[in-house]
Structure 1
Amino acid sequence: MAPGIPAALERPHFIGIGGAGMSGIAKILAQRGAKVAGSDARESATADALRALGATVHIGHAAGHLADDATSVVVSSAIRADNPELVRAAELDIPVVHRSDALASLMDGLRSIAVAGTHGKTTTTSMLAVALSELALDPSYAIGGDLEGPGTNATHGDGDIFVAEADESDRSFQKYAPEVAIVLNVELDHHANYASMDEIYESFETFVGKVVPGGTLVVAADQPGAVELTRRVRERSSVRVVTYGESEGADVRVHKVTPRGLTSEVTVVLNGKFLTFTVSVPGRHYAHNAVAALAAGVALGVPAHNLASAIGTYTGVKRRLQLKGEAAGVQVIDSYAHHPTEMAADLEAMRGAASESRLLVVFQPHLFSRTQELGTEMGQALALADASLVLDIYPAREDPLPGVTSALIIDAAKAAGADVTAVHDKAAVPAAVAGMAKPGDLVLTMGAGDVTDLGPQILDHLSS
């Protein structure tokens, strides 16, 4: 089937078109036949991929990039009011559409699965997209990272299923009306937008309240925040709830997770029967993501045995424990983890995958607000590594906060007994790591910012 294009999105202009969320929507619109244009701060492989689909991509932001006949300007919450293209849109009286509204319109008329949670969204969404594609269901999907197989974060499929990563950070996930909602975890994060856990619970309750009549909430049975959300939902909503996890009462119970090097074997109990399948990424948290994907697909009517086998074909997402290469006997792996829970999970996964190796970490904190609130926990997570280099905070969309620096993390790490060193010059990291690493070691570059660029540079230094 080929859903139509809303009039407002026939000739859209995306500000920040190269971003993970924005580019996915732009790609799907281009594939559906829209005349897509936009701008981004720099050239990238994403910009080239969009051009290959027929989109016009300008580099830099300028009022002149916005065509007079644009039917809308699409923005994310990161776009500031003084952006020249946004100012020009107001002058031309061109409607401004938030990214979440654009994505919601793409999902209209399709059976949608929306994946939410403080962490794990990209992996779980990707597992579903890969598995449903493997089963020839030809889903559409929009993901916050590029799949290693297809190499893209979004596509328009001819099937009737749409799988989307649902962003809770700015409450935009409240715009969707899925048939199946997944909530992986509920934790305090996104401190610029949420002042308390109560606000976060209220936001997730609103998201769950948008599930279509007869739809399903798939929710973690082990994570405390998700358990509290489940209690609230069951009190106030008639939505069907399916829990998953290791808890005895879980509807889809994780019986066993067996590490197999950089993969895992997972056994679940579903409808009273045991089902075993492979997850091609290491770590218990990724195994749980796979079980969430399994439960959601079954809720949509996909046979469990077929879906479990198809999930085994998933090979990963860029930046989610992605092996960048090996040199001088040292493996370099990249992790997007930037919240303490994610950091600890990935570090524990690496420990489980290679228990005889030293684990060296290059960590770049992400956002001043997150560091202010969670810096102590980040430092404590780094104690799981044998040694860590900590970079300055990657600001992303934020301005600096007085007194908030990487020192908050470093002090906490040292208090927890960690071997940690501050590095203020990112360019010095590759040589420093090459000097530290020995054959058999694992090096993990970790964070949501441009620390990912260091992996190839570290490998070059190790090779020289």
Structure 2
Amino acid sequence: MTPAIPPAMDRPHFIGIGGAGMSGIAKILAGRGARVAGSDARESGTAAALRALGAEVHIGHATGHLAADASCVVVSSAIRADNPELAEAARRGIPAVHRSEALAALMTGLRTVAVAGTHGKTTTTSMLAVALTHLGLSPTYAIGGDLDVPGSNAESGTGDLFIAEADESDRSFHRYRPEVAVILNVELDHHANYASMDEIYESFEIFADRVEPGGTLVINADQEGARKLTATLAGRRGLRIVTYGDASDADFRVVRIVPDRLTSDVTVAFDGGELTFRVAVPGRHYAHNAVAALAAGVAAGVPAPALARALGAYTGVRRRLQPKGEANGVLVIDSYAHHPTEMAADLAAIRGGAAGGRVLVVFQPHLFSRTKELADEMGAALARADACLVLDIYPAREDPIPGVTSALIVAAARTRGAEVLAVAEQDAVPGAVAGIARPGDLVLTMGAGDVTELGPKILARLAG
């Protein structure tokens, strides 16, 4: 069964179609038979993948890219009001639809599992989507990252389940009505949209209240913010709460995690029994993501033993501790981590896979607002590495903030005894890494910006 195309979305135009969230929605609509078009700032593998599905993708933003008969324009919070295509749509009276509204419309008629949290969303959503696909359940899914190749962040399935990454950054996850909601953690982030932890708690509480009557909330039993939220939600009428984690009172309790280089064997206790399964990515945080995926799938009615085995089919998401290659005995891995908690977790995870060598980090801070608020914590996380290079801040959608530069992070790392070097020019990074790396070392490119493009260049320089 292929669900219907939502009203007024049969001829959508996506502004920023190459973005992780936008491209997934475009792919699902194309799979349902919509005539999809859009534009993006630059050429990419994602743009090519969308064209292969029949979408018309323009490079650059111009009024002429908007078809005369476009039924709507789809935008994210990153699209500014002065974008020429958005302004042209307004002039013509073509409705603008926020990305989250479009995603919510695609969920209509399907049983939705929505995965939220300050970090871990992409991995957990991917694990569940891959496992359900492996079981032949053909879910529809939309993920904020590619599984293995560009364009693999979404699929229009024929089953009755929709697995979605639910973004809290702009409160857009308030638009969803999931049967099963997952909250992995609750921490302060997205400082341009949230002024305090109270606002964060309120936002996640609204998301939890959106769960369908009789539905289930799967939530972390260990993380402080999640536990506080659980206490607030306890007793809510019509909401079943299932917890997971190391805590002795967790419904899905992690009994043990046995690491084996870049994989782990995880044993979890629930419903009076135990189940052991393999997770093909390293680190305790990824093992916990897998347990969250297991609990969510069981809540949606999938048998636990089959689902646990299927979770072993997950081999990772692009940019989530993704091996990029090895040259002269040096392994290069790419990480999307940009929040201090994520940074520390990824560094802890790969420390076990470094085979006795050093861990060298190339870090690119993401957003001026995040750097302003969390520079000290970022420096503390980087101090876990043996040496690190810190690039200039990747601004994304933000304008500079006076006095906020990468120097704040460098100073914070150095006060903790870290060996850290500020590098303003990315072209200088491959040579700098090659100058200090030696066989057995592991190089981690880290950040949510274009630092990911340095991995192949570092490998080429290492190969000499």
Q: Do these two structures clear the TM 0.5 threshold for a shared fold by scoring above it? A: yes
- Report the Cα offset of residue 352 of structure 1: 2.1
Aligned to 1:373: 373
Listed as ranges, the matches of 1:52-451 within 5 Å are 52-148=52-148, 152-354=152-354, 356-451=356-451
- Report the Cα offset of residue 64 of structure 1: 1.0
Per-residue deviation, residues 246-271 of structure 1 (Å, max 9, x unmatched): 00000000000111110001000011
Q: 1-side partners of 2:6 and 2:440: how far apart?
A: 54
- Report the Cα offset of residue 7 of structure 1: 2.2
Taking every aligned residue pair, what percent have the same amino acid on both sides?
73
Q: 2-side partners of 1:179 and 1:394: how far apart?
A: 37
Which amino acid in the other structure matches residue 435 of structure 1?
G
Unpaired runs of 5+ residues, structure 2, are none
When residues 214 and 236 of structure 1 are mapped into structure 2, their CA distance, relative to the original with a 3 A threshold, is closer
**Count of residue correspondences:** 464
SS of residue matched to 1:227: helix
Aligned to 1:8: 8
Residue 119 of structure 1 contacts residue 185 of structure 1 at CA under 8 Å; is this kept in 2? yes
Per-residue deviation, residues 365-392 of structure 1 (Å, max 9, x unmatched): 0000000000100000001100000000
Q: 1-side partners of 2:339 and 2:198: how far apart?
A: 19
SS of residue matched to 1:320: coil
Which amino acid in the other structure matches residue 77 of structure 1?
S
SS of residue matched to 2:225: helix
Q: 1-side partners of 2:92 and 2:452: how far apart?
A: 39
- Report the Cα offset of residue 354 of structure 1: 2.7
Q: 1-side partners of 2:386 and 2:459: how far apart?
A: 19
SS of residue matched to 2:321: strand
- Report the Cα offset of residue 219 of structure 1: 0.2
Per-residue deviation, residues 344-378 of structure 1 (Å, max 9, x unmatched): 00000011223511000000000000000001000
Q: 2-side partners of 1:439 and 1:357: how far apart?
A: 8
Which amino acid in the other structure matches residue 140 of structure 1?
T
SS of residue matched to 1:380: helix
Q: 2-side partners of 1:289 and 1:359: how far apart?
A: 24
Residue 259 of structure 1 contacts residue 353 of structure 1 at CA under 8 Å; is this kept in 2? no
Per-residue deviation, residues 309-344 of structure 1 (Å, max 9, x unmatched): 000110000000000000000000000000000000
Residue 39 of structure 2 contacts residue 57 of structure 2 at CA under 8 Å; is this kept in 1? yes
Residue 244 of structure 1 contacts residue 250 of structure 1 at CA under 8 Å; is this kept in 2? yes
TM-score, scaled relative to structure 1: 0.99
Q: 2-side partners of 1:35 and 1:151: how far apart?
A: 17
When residues 171 and 229 of structure 1 are mapped into structure 2, their CA distance, relative to the original with a 3 A threshold, is same
Q: 2-side partners of 1:389 and 1:292: how far apart?
A: 34
Q: 1-side partners of 2:302 and 2:236: how far apart?
A: 28
Q: 2-side partners of 1:275 and 1:58: how far apart?
A: 49
Residue 182 of structure 2 contacts residue 217 of structure 2 at CA under 8 Å; is this kept in 1? yes
- Report the Cα offset of residue 6 of structure 1: 1.6
Per-residue deviation, residues 293-312 of structure 1 (Å, max 9, x unmatched): 00000001111000000001
Q: 1-side partners of 2:271 and 2:150: how far apart?
A: 33
SS of residue matched to 2:456: helix
SS of residue matched to 1:207: helix
Which amino acid in the other structure matches residue 362 of structure 1?
V
SS of residue matched to 1:458: helix
Which amino acid in the other structure matches residue 145 of structure 1?
G
Which amino acid in the other structure matches residue 260 of structure 1?
D
Which amino acid in the other structure matches residue 5 of structure 2?
I
Q: 2-side partners of 1:139 and 1:147: how far apart?
A: 15
Q: 2-side partners of 1:190 and 1:72: how far apart?
A: 28
Which amino acid in the other structure matches residue 119 of structure 1?
H
TM-score, scaled relative to structure 2: 0.99
Residue 45 of structure 2 contacts residue 150 of structure 2 at CA under 8 Å; is this kept in 1? no
When residues 371 and 237 of structure 1 are mapped into structure 2, their CA distance, relative to the original with a 3 A threshold, is farther
Per-residue deviation, residues 87-112 of structure 1 (Å, max 9, x unmatched): 00111000000000000011111011
- Report the Cα offset of residue 149 of structure 1: 7.3
Q: 2-side partners of 1:404 and 1:4: how far apart?
A: 48
Q: 2-side partners of 1:7 and 1:234: how far apart?
A: 37
Q: 2-side partners of 1:47 and 1:70: how far apart?
A: 19
Alignment RMSD: 0.9
Q: 1-side partners of 2:274 and 2:72: how far apart?
A: 51
- Report the Cα offset of residue 235 of structure 1: 4.8
Q: 2-side partners of 1:355 and 1:46: how far apart?
A: 34
Q: 2-side partners of 1:7 and 1:77: how far apart?
A: 22
Residue 257 of structure 1 contacts residue 267 of structure 1 at CA under 8 Å; is this kept in 2? yes
SS of residue matched to 1:443: strand
Which amino acid in the other structure matches residue 181 of structure 2?
A
Q: 1-side partners of 2:149 and 2:414: how far apart?
A: 40
Deviating above 6 A after TM superposition, structure 1's stretches of 4 or more consecutive aligned residues are none
When residues 435 and 338 of structure 1 are mapped into structure 2, their CA distance, relative to the original with a 3 A threshold, is same
Q: 1-side partners of 2:336 and 2:449: how far apart?
A: 8
Residue 338 of structure 2 contacts residue 446 of structure 2 at CA under 8 Å; is this kept in 1? yes
Query: Are 1:47 and 2:47 matched, yes or no?
Result: yes
Unpaired runs of 5+ residues, structure 1, are none
SS of residue matched to 2:8: helix
When residues 433 and 242 of structure 1 are mapped into structure 2, their CA distance, relative to the original with a 3 A threshold, is same
Residue 366 of structure 2 contacts residue 447 of structure 2 at CA under 8 Å; is this kept in 1? yes
